[in-house]
Amino acid sequence: MTAKTSSQHKEAEQLEKTMQVLADIEDSKEGNHYPPVEQWNPSVVGEIDIRIDREGVWYYQGDKMERKEMVKLFSSILRLDDDGYCLVTPVEKMKINVDVAPFSIVDFSVDEVDGQPALVFKDSIGEDILLNSQDQFSVCDSESGEPTPLLTVRRNLKGLINRNVFYRLVDTAENHIVDGKELIGVWSNGLFFALQ
């Protein structure tokens, strides 16, 4: 057995163990709550060949993860630490690679919340995110100078807003004066979010 094959075999065993822990966590969850990954400090720390690309697509050893249920399950134990993104269970922490952000924002709608129009975004795993906090939305420039709009999905995990979704936001935007400066942006839940 070559070193590479042996390494891949160990990684596959590690993935299988992670899947079993995940299944146990999923069975013990109530409602739509996420596991308390921020409370877990496992002693086993390593890396696994999982990558999330710019579009929020997950890959394992270079192959696309086709099962949406598995991606959703893995995303529920995703955490961003000082040393990068990782999948965390009570017994292990496995570092993974993320190109831009772990989620992709693929759609939005305007709903009424507490009598006010509010933007509700949908991420790449099918969850809804209500835009209702000022620090939840940001637009920064990429190295090439293009805008990179990001939305906090949960905790400190962000989603990259797809280009077509961002263009739709721009179409609904309006001018508003903020601190004496005219900005273009959108309103959600009574708050103004600049798009520039």
CATH number for the domain that contains residue 167: 2.30.270.10
Model pLDDT, residue 196: 78
- Measured over the CA atoms of residue 110, residue 113, residue 118 and residue 124, the dihedral's sign is negative
For 175-190, how does the pLDDT look when each residue is reduced to its tens digit (9 = 90+)? 988 888 899 999 999 9
| Helices marked H in the chain | 3-28, 68-75, 163-172
> In terms of domains, do 112 and 92 share one?
no
> In terms of domains, do 77 and 164 share one?
no
**Strands 92-98 and 44-52, how do they pair?**
parallel
CB atoms within 10 A of CB 173: 17
- Residue 26: pLDDT above 90? no
Model pLDDT, residue 25: 60
> In terms of domains, do 35 and 75 share one?
yes
How confident is the model over 76-82, as a mean pLDDT?
96
Which tokens hold the place of 151? 């939305």
Boundary (domain end) residue, out of 98, 130, 150: 98
Model pLDDT, residue 141: 83
> In terms of domains, do 82 and 115 share one?
no
Model pLDDT, residue 20: 66
- Residue 80: pLDDT above 90? yes
For 29-48, how does the pLDDT look when each residue is reduced to its tens digit (9 = 90+)? 555 578 999 999 999 999 99
**Strands 181-188 and 191-194, how do they pair?**
antiparallel
DSSP summary character for residue 132: -
How confident is the model over 66-86, as a mean pLDDT?
95
> In terms of domains, do 137 and 184 share one?
yes
Q: Which domain holds residue 113?
A: 103-194
Boundary (domain end) residue, out of 83, 98, 113: 98
> In terms of domains, do 88 and 113 share one?
no
- Residue 21: pLDDT above 70? no
> In terms of domains, do 88 and 121 share one?
no
Residue (of 156, 138, 160) closest to 55 by Cα position: 160
* Percent of the chain scoring above 90 in pLDDT: 72
Boundary (domain end) residue, out of 98, 114, 135: 98
Under the banding of pLDDT at 50, 70 and 90, the label for residue 114 is confident
For 126-176, how does the pLDDT look when each residue is reduced to its tens digit (9 = 90+)? 999 999 999 999 998 877 878 899 999 999 999 999 999 999 999 999 998
